[in-house]
Amino acid sequence: MTNLYLDLMEKCLLNTIYEDAPNDPWTGGKYNPELRAIGKDWPSRAHTMIGYQRLHQLREACETVLSENIPGDFIETGVWRGGACILMRAVLKAYGVTDRKVWCADSFAGLPKPDAAHYPSDYGDPHHTYSQLVAGLDDVKSNFMKYDLLDDQVGFLVGWFKDTLPCAPIDKLAILRLDGDMYESTIQGLDALYDKVSPGGFVIVDDYWVVPACRAAVHDYRARKDIGEEIVPIDWGGVFWRKQ
């Protein structure tokens, strides 16, 4: 029953059941199951845009840290409509885990304008111009409620990462999922949270292959901290590694 529940959660979060049309600038507004499966569209109604492969990898990572007793909470930095965080909460629910929390970190007002003076790699980044990438806090909470998963095991860090992540009330993390697209958002997540990831925990980067600035932030941080763990591809966009 656990697998059946989580399989259905994945389908609902991706909305492969009702096949909602995308609202991105490139697909022409027509649902394509192949693109939805790999997260290459922006759904109009689905609660996540990361696609089946990245969503399922997140589920497997959560199940792994539970089975191996890797201590710590789960967090996503950049949650959009909350789908990935909803899945993480569903995993905890399915396995009866009550001593971990899922953290949703986001401005809930879209992405920041590029600060090229401090982060030159973000020069000209257009993400802040896309209204499709804005999901408000009330909308995300409402989405959690649709699955009966909004409770005290879900926390919200509201604001820009530079303001919220360094002072986040988190002791340990077993899952750190970065989905901030930009250099600034990625490096700030790593700077504030990487040291809290437990040995054996997962670091997942959603846009590693998609946004060169995101990839640059990962490489700069890993070089600075002398991190040598293998970067494992998930699909055309995301990667992960396990902290040793």
Residue 79 located in a structural domain: yes
Q: How many domains would you assign to the chain?
A: 1
Ranges 56-60, 122-126, 189-193, 223-227: which has the least confidence: 122-126
Provide DSSP, the chain. -HHHHHHHHHHHHHTTTTTPPB-SSSSTT---HHHHHTT-S-BSS-S--SHHHHHHHHHHHHHHHHHTT---EEEEE--TTSHHHHHHHHHHHHTT--S--EEEEE-SS-PPPP-TTT-GGGTT--GGG-GGG---HHHHHHHHHHTT--STTEEEEES-HHHHSTT---S-EEEEEE---SHHHHHHHHHHHGGGEEEEEEEEETTTTT-HHHHHHHHHHHHHTT--PPPEE-SSS-EEEE--
Residue 159 located in a structural domain: yes
The model scores a pTM over 0.95: yes
The residue range of the domain holding 165 is 52-242
Residue 42 located in a structural domain: no
Residue 147 has pLDDT above 90, yes or no: yes
Residue 32 located in a structural domain: no
CATH number of the domain that residue 171 is part of: 3.40.50.150
Residue 39 located in a structural domain: no
